[in-house]
Chains A and B, each alone.
Chain A
Amino acid sequence: DAKTTQPTSMDCAEGRAANLPCNHSTISGNEYVYWYRQIHSQGPQYIIHGLKNNETNEMASLIITEDRKSSTLILPHATLRDTAVYYCIVRVGRGSTLGRLYFGRGTQLTVWP
């Protein structure tokens, strides 16, 4: 599976956009980029995923570079409740390990009032 690299921590002011980067330079053509977040002592929460095109839903936007070697998760108007560890995961699209998610260390996002 392709590995991902994320900054260990980031800060963001409440109400501002939070832009969380992720590098996945060894990603293969059939591998999806997934984002989850984990608030302390809870199970991870699905945010968004994409393959090639940019994606947007009610929680966030996902921008994937044309070469697919990196992506950015955008929370357009961060709130205090967005404080969490954000995980960028590259998931194999087919084969014996289909569906398995291997978590890295993620980025601790702290939103300040």
Chain B
Amino acid sequence: GAVVSQHPSRVICKSGTSVKIECRSLDFQATTMFWYRQFPKQSLMLMATSNEGSKATYEQGVEKDKFLINHASLTLSTLTVTSAHPEDSSFYICSARRGVKTQYFGPGTRLLVL
């Protein structure tokens, strides 16, 4: 299958700081990437759809000013958690759509906000 990477794999930060997570499609170009969040013992929750060269589309209830998404190239999307708080601690996962049918997921980034 296609390869999607995320960086960093885990990050610990202080409350009030901002954290940037990168998502890269390594062996294909992705015009569309997706960002998910997963809390312990829960399923993945779609946060936003990231389209190359245009603004991201956020799911209902997700604050766009809190979770900034930039999809500057066909192989890179970034998610910035601004002014992070302990309740933002979670497992953040990106996916990239290859062609029109299949999404491939990254390994995830574990964020801990102290």
Contacts and interface: CB of A to CB of B under 8 A. Distances in A.
A55 B66 CA distance: 41
A105 B105 contact: no
Interface residues of A, number: 20
Majority secondary structure, A binding face:
loop
A112 interface: no
Interface string B83-109: 000000001010101001111111110
B61 interface: no
Interface stretch (B12-20, B42-50, B72-80): B42-50
B5 to A, nearest CB: 10
B43 A101 contact: no
B107 A101 contact: no
B105 A43 contact: yes
Interface of B: 1, 4, 6, 32, 34, 36, 43-46, 49, 91, 93, 95, 97, 100-108, 110
